[in-house]
Structure 1
Amino acid sequence: MDILDLQAKSIPAALQSRIDALAIAAPTAPWLSAAEKQHLKDTIKTLLKQKNAQLVAHYYVDDELQALAEETGGKVADSLEMANFGAQSKADILVVCGVRFMGETAKMLSPEKTILMPDLNATCSLDEGCPPEEFAKFCAKYPDHKVVVYANTSAEVKAIADWVVTSGNALEIVSHLKAQGEKIIWAPDQHLGNWIEQQTGIEMIRWQGNCIVHHEFQTYELQALKEKHPDAKVLVHPESPKEVVALADVVGSTRVMIEAVQNMPDQKFIVATDYGIFYKMQQVAPGKTLIVAPTGGSKNTCNSCAHCPWMAMNSLQNLAACLQNMTGEVLIEESIRVKALASVERMLQFSRQQGLVKIQA
């Protein structure tokens, strides 16, 4: 169905200003020699051992950080699996290489641990585009609706919600709520919400947000790329526009896409998600060809810019600094943490009952 609320159909001006400022002013990590990189990696490994810390990294951060997490006994995963790993860890400190909502989720599930991030300013357009106060007012207009929010939201928004979902379990949870006769408010990703509506047949009141990476995948250019590579299968994350999703052979979460590359017999894939995922895809299927889906036309300065600028704020330099100086600690007001945890735990309990072993986002 069409979006029911009357919010502006573009990225909010305040968020766009932050994106523009990030593009202009965000510090670029200086070029490092192989020796300098190795020194930083050795320093990080030493600090992790000294402080009984573990590193968890999202699929979208740079390859070197993902590799470092694996080499040190940490975890490379989606946001909820990162947090679950942290909750089961015996480490005193978790260092989350990702974006802020991921650090917050880790803190919700591991309140007794110190949660650090290389840069607390690393955020998410879905999170930023759903301010808690505005969202609370929006929800108040529909008191008979269950509030279902995507994992890519702040702790304050999760505290408002009845359910938190991921792209890996949203279909099952929304289908369950539909069977119970519930009406649903969905936030914040409009494209994921549209895909869920199409798959389940339910109509939801949708908050209008989007991921600045997935929102930019282009239909015309993707079709042209398909014609250039007719033997390639197209993998699309459901945060992408519906016209792009319609061109996909496989639609799903990060884990679904990785498993598709690993298990499908095809040798070539066009991938419509953040290209940070290529590290893990190449790891599980080293002989296969991966192509970044186009995010801009021929007149753009970048045709395949599918990388989150906030994920790119994680680096070897600031990872070493946060461990050395114990900076970048993620803190959540306890009353907010408890409320937000309730909606997360509801999701986890449902997933366990339904046998949804993988917790995906």
Structure 2
Amino acid sequence: MLRLSSSVRRSAGPLAAAARRCLSAAAFPSLTVSSEGLSANGAFAESQLAYLDPHADDVARLDDALRRSQAGVVSHYYMDPELQGILSGLTWPHVFTADSLAMGDAAVKMAREGATSIVCLGVDFMAESVKATLESQGFKDLPVYRVAQEHIGCSLAASAEAPAYGAWLSQAAARERSLHIVYINTSLLTKAKAQALVPTITCTSSNVLRTVLQAFSQVPDLTVWYGPDTYMGENLRCLLAGLAELSADEIRRLHPDHTPETLRAALDHFEVFPQGNCVVHHQFGGEVAEMLRTHYADAYHTAHLEVPGEMFAVANEASKNGRGVVGSTSNILDFICSVAQDAVETGAQDKLTFVLGTEAGMITPVVHELQRLVKGSKTAVEIVFPVSQDAISVTGEARDTGLAVVPGVTGGEGCSSAGGCATCKFMKMNSLEALMDVLDLVADPSPSLAKFIPAQRSFQVQGRSSNEVGAIPILNMREFSQTGELPRNLVEDILKR
């Protein structure tokens, strides 16, 4: 926590007021990508820009450490921009950045191609999931390491391990024909306990709507229980209500078995856990949404399904006119690239503006893809970070020698209680130096490596390990992704419990 002198504290009010006026005039910080290079507007954007062109010495040092250790690295899109920038410059082949589900698949591919261990850059439940995926594919003895000895938590995953979630699932278990749809961003322990109580299938933010629609069409008189992300659940309810207002023909194009009547009936049987959220996406609140409507009415709007309803509504409204998307990190990346590619192919010379309604770490893959797309064209693309104008800190530096005020509350995470967030403090526990330390231990094995192994929190469920039971909802989702239907065993479980 930044500590301020008494004189600085006395001046914090006027400084903050002045900063708010400046931020209000300039709205939100942004990065612009064009064939001429990158440019930043605002201190927060400048800090992101600094990491997009990594230092060659850092890249070479990490490349060498990976070759010596023969390790693979899987990292999440929300990783620290500095570390993402370095990872993107590596020549070592076993490095992959994606959303949480794809991280496990990438680890399996690396194992098949010769990686002798996997380092997971993310929060703890991601390392658990990567390990479970490897074990399910025959790589039970391949070690998975985190890069922090401390617990790398997640507010959303923690909410699913609270007593309130268990009590909510007990209500589901008491109702006939219940299906629990649990977000992938939860621990194996959560998935195992849920499966023991209620038939459960995992979902991602990319496939959750398809999962809900298929479940209601495939199982008569079903009640769906979605958790733990309250915002995503309420946003899904909003999407279902919006779909129910479409014509029968429009709905059939989305799902052949649904009509306005079936969707309205589904809304009456769709339950959402009321006490779970991600601390990052929680910050995209009403103030941010209002500023977007005021200053960025002509922009393209993106929003992760986990954001609060106000921010979701802005992007959802834009999506109806082809100028926005709501969904997963991958959906957001694909949408931005698709619009940019169309502009390049048609020779458009106007600047495209996109609001990045998710964690700021996404800027690294977005910029790298855009640089490839706009190279040699006259198209420029601006990426806007919707950080609240209240999300500022007084640094204590003199105005003429440094930054007196910077984006981000004094906790350092770029968030404001009024809305608008920059980064996830848990993801930022993964750093270059921490990764280097673990790779050194892998190259020269030491007993201290045990501190970096994901926690083994296992118990018995009807004679089976919780890791085995916790994998069932994930396997249900994988089969659904392949066939488009709920697995037969899952449907039978719903009907017989």
Q: Which amino acid aligns with 1:58?
A: H
Task: Assess if the C-alpha contact under 8 Å between 1:103 and 1:117 holds in 2.
Answer: yes
Q: Does 1:283 pair with 2:368?
A: yes
> Which of 472, 483, 487 is equivalent to 1:353?
483
Aligned length: 320
Query: In the TM superposition, what are the counterparts of 1:133-212 in structure 2 within 5 Å?
Result: 134-143=164-173, 144=176, 145-159=178-192, 160-161=194-195, 162-179=200-217, 180-181=219-220, 182-200=222-240, 201=263, 202=267, 203-207=269-273, 208-212=275-279
Q: Does 1:274 pair with 2:359?
A: yes
Inter-partner Cα distance in structure 2 for 1:342 and 1:197: 26
Map of 2:147 onto structure 1: 118
User: SS of the counterpart of 2:278?
Assistant: coil
Inter-partner Cα distance in structure 2 for 1:261 and 1:239: 19
Task: Assess if the C-alpha contact under 8 Å between 2:229 and 2:277 holds in 1.
Answer: yes
Inter-partner Cα distance in structure 2 for 1:316 and 1:299: 26
Map of 1:65 onto structure 2: 83
User: SS of the counterpart of 2:452?
Assistant: coil
Map of 1:22 onto structure 2: none
Map of 1:256 onto structure 2: 331
Deviation at 1:80, TM superposition (A): 0.3
Deviation at 1:193, TM superposition (A): 0.7
Inter-partner Cα distance in structure 2 for 1:86 and 1:206: 32
Q: Does 1:242 pair with 2:309?
A: yes
Q: Which amino acid aligns with 1:89?
A: M
Deviation at 1:69, TM superposition (A): 3.6
CA RMSD of aligned residues (A): 2.4
TM-score by length of 2: 0.60
Inter-partner Cα distance in structure 1 for 2:202 and 2:73: 24
Inter-partner Cα distance in structure 2 for 1:352 and 1:319: 35
> Which of 467, 486, 493 is equivalent to 1:337?
467
Q: Which amino acid aligns with 1:101?
A: F
Deviation at 1:82, TM superposition (A): 0.8
Give CA deviations for 1:34-74 in whole Å, capped at 9, x if unaligned: xx976554443233222321111111112232244442321
Q: Which amino acid aligns with 2:484?
A: Q
Deviation at 1:155, TM superposition (A): 1.1
Inter-partner Cα distance in structure 2 for 1:37 and 1:68: 8
Task: Assess if the C-alpha contact under 8 Å between 1:147 and 1:184 holds in 2.
Answer: yes
Deviation at 1:97, TM superposition (A): 0.8
Map of 2:71 onto structure 1: 53
User: SS of the counterpart of 2:202?
Assistant: strand
> Which of 286, 290, 305 is equivalent to 1:223?
290
Inter-partner Cα distance in structure 2 for 1:321 and 1:186: 40
Task: Assess if the C-alpha contact under 8 Å between 2:76 and 2:122 holds in 1.
Answer: yes
Deviates most, 314-323 or 195-204: 195-204
Task: Assess if the C-alpha contact under 8 Å between 1:234 and 1:271 holds in 2.
Answer: yes
Q: Does 1:75 pair with 2:104?
A: no
User: SS of the counterpart of 1:236?
Assistant: strand
Deviation at 1:79, TM superposition (A): 0.4
Task: Assess if the C-alpha contact under 8 Å between 1:56 and 1:69 holds in 2.
Answer: no
Inter-partner Cα distance in structure 1 for 2:476 and 2:75: 25
TM-score by length of 1: 0.82
Deviation at 1:134, TM superposition (A): 4.5
Deviation at 1:297, TM superposition (A): 4.5
Q: Which amino acid aligns with 2:108?
A: A
Deviation at 1:215, TM superposition (A): 1.0
Map of 1:314 onto structure 2: 430
The answer for unaligned runs of 5 or more in structure 1 is: 1-35, 356-361
Inter-partner Cα distance in structure 1 for 2:230 and 2:103: 25
Inter-partner Cα distance in structure 2 for 1:329 and 1:307: 25
The answer for unaligned runs of 5 or more in structure 2 is: 1-53, 241-262, 319-324, 344-350, 372-379, 394-407, 409-415, 442-448, 459-464, 486-497
Map of 1:17 onto structure 2: none
Q: Does 1:97 pair with 2:213?
A: no
Map of 2:446 onto structure 1: none
Map of 1:305 onto structure 2: 421
Map of 2:107 onto structure 1: 86
Counterparts in 2 of 1:132 and 1:156: CA distance versus 1, 3 Å? farther
> Which of 130, 147, 157 is equivalent to 1:106?
130
Query: In the TM superposition, what are the counterparts of 1:1-16 in structure 2 within 5 Å?
Result: none
